[in-house]
Structure 1
Amino acid sequence: MGKKLFMAQKRGETRAVGLGIGMIICAVMMFFLLGVTVLPKYIKSVWTEETTCTLVQATFKERANCIHNSNTKPESILKYPCLEVLVNLNFSEDVFMLYHTEESSEWNNKCTYIPDCKENYTEVEMHVQEIQGRFNKSSSFACYFDPKGRQKSIILVRKFGPQKMISYFFWPTSMFTVGLFVVIIVKISQCFAMVSVQANRAGN
């Protein structure tokens, strides 16, 4: 009976260690993926200073192609209305182009907001008009700029800011911590078991 209990305990410890190591490996892989995808964009993001933007104008330009959508077929390129929002900062009278996030200017540097590509253009147009209406209702709003002046444009939302990075790395960090904790607890338990066995042998 004692031998069966010992073997069952041994199998349980092996599974627990395997689970812990598996969690650690998954967490490391997630860290790697985030390190090559999200982290470089966070490092490149220079819009670090928050200020107040005042709306100058929010107007529609010509229709733009959804070139950022890789699923779009060349023979049927979808379009969206190009919304251009110009603002000035609370400490400057200069007019700047406002972009939704850090990536917006990379997709199309003429448009402030780039919606999801849909075949129904009217639906997309109504959505962008709603965005325009929000800007017109709020003449002043929070925004971000580059304090060193490397980027003259302004962004509305930091997609790769510190808070976003914390949320991105929360789950892999938690998984790594739990996995490491499981392995350490099992190893400590095994050490105490070995000490107990040795003490019993010495007593006999």
Structure 2
Amino acid sequence: MFFVAGARNTAGSGRDNERRSIYQKFREADILGKKTTETALKAGEDRAILLGLGMILSSFMMYFVLGITILRSYADSVWTEEGVCFVLNSTVIEDMNCSYNCGSDCWRGSKYPCLQVYVSVNNTGRVSRLSHNEETQDASSECFYVPRCQKDSTAMHSVIMNISERLKLNQQVTCYYDPSEQHETVLLTRMYDHSVIFHSLFWPSCMLTGGALIIVMVKLTQYLSRLCEQIGKIKR
């Protein structure tokens, strides 16, 4: 009887050990799986934070570039007041020389007609010369429009004459002038107006907001995860 009971106890303890071994293996596999999942989640969170920081850094770089180009040109512009210009005279005064690129280290000359336009601003009797935009004003102090130089001078002449005809037909146009009257020239269009500034700042602002939201969401997820773990430990 003693030997039989001992054999039974030995067999029972063996089965218990086997169950404990199987349970321990499952527990180790579960712990390993959780650690692997946590490692993958942490790597994903780190990449998301780096992405957010990269977006924020890129947006600041875009702000810097825009600040020294478009925003600076917009702030330095003196043609800030919008008015109504009445075309008084639109004539071609002479042919202007220009050069175009014909290949590697090759430049050739061409000519375009210089259209000169005089207007009256807001019917005040103030006569001013009209220029197409700031770029044209910097390129030529006499001509209304400076076309892109090309070999076909006839095409450039046709463009200038079409502009002249349109100005003669539409003698009342919107223009921009210097309210201090230090510049006699007025502009037909502005290269950097409010709409250009808005569209230039819109995309960097979207990138900055998106990067900040990514970082905030990752940090919020981490906080909620730690909070759930603490609640789980308290319940245990």
Same fold flag (TM > 0.5) = yes
| Superposition deviation, residue 97 in structure 1 | 0.5
How many residue pairs align between the two structures? 203
Among residues 63, 82, 102, which one is paired with 2:95 in the alignment? 63
Structure 2 runs not aligned, ≥5 long: 1-32
Task: Pick one of 6, 26, 37 that aligns with 2:69.
Answer: 37
Q: Of residues 158, 169, 176 in structure 1, which corresponds to 2:190?
A: 158
Query: Over residues 65-122 of structure 1, what are the superposed CA-to-partner deviations in whole Å (9 max), with x where a residue is unaligned?
Result: 44799x9968524433221111111232122100111222111111111222222222
Query: Quick one: structure 1 residues 144 and 13, their matched pair in 2 at CA, closer, same or farther if it must change by over 3 Å?
Result: same
Say whether 1:174 aligns with 2:206: yes
Where 1:84 maps in the other structure, the secondary structure is strand
Corresponding residue SS for 2:134: coil
Identity across the alignment (%): 33
Deviations 1:49-73 (A, max 9, x none): 111111111111222244799x996
- The answer as to 2:142 corresponding to 1:136 is no
Moved more, 115-124 or 130-139: 115-124
Change (3 A) 1:67 1:106: farther
RMSD of aligned C-alpha atoms? Answer: 2.3
| Partner SS for 1:60 | strand
Q: Secondary structure, in 3 states, of the residue corresponding to 1:148?
A: coil
Map of 2:137 onto structure 1: 105
**What residue number does 2:52 align with?**
20
Q: Which structure has more RCO (C-alpha within 8 Å, separation ≥ 6)?
A: 1
Amino acid at match of 2:123: F
Instruction: Give yes or no for contact 2:56–2:211 (8 Å, CA) kept in 1.
Output: yes
Between structure 1 and structure 2, the one with the greater Rg is: 2
The answer on whether the counterparts of 2:99 and 2:108 sit within 8 Å (CA) in structure 1 is no
| Structure 1 segments unaligned to the other structure (5+ residues) | none
Given the alignment, which residue of 76, 79, 91 partners 2:108? Answer: 76
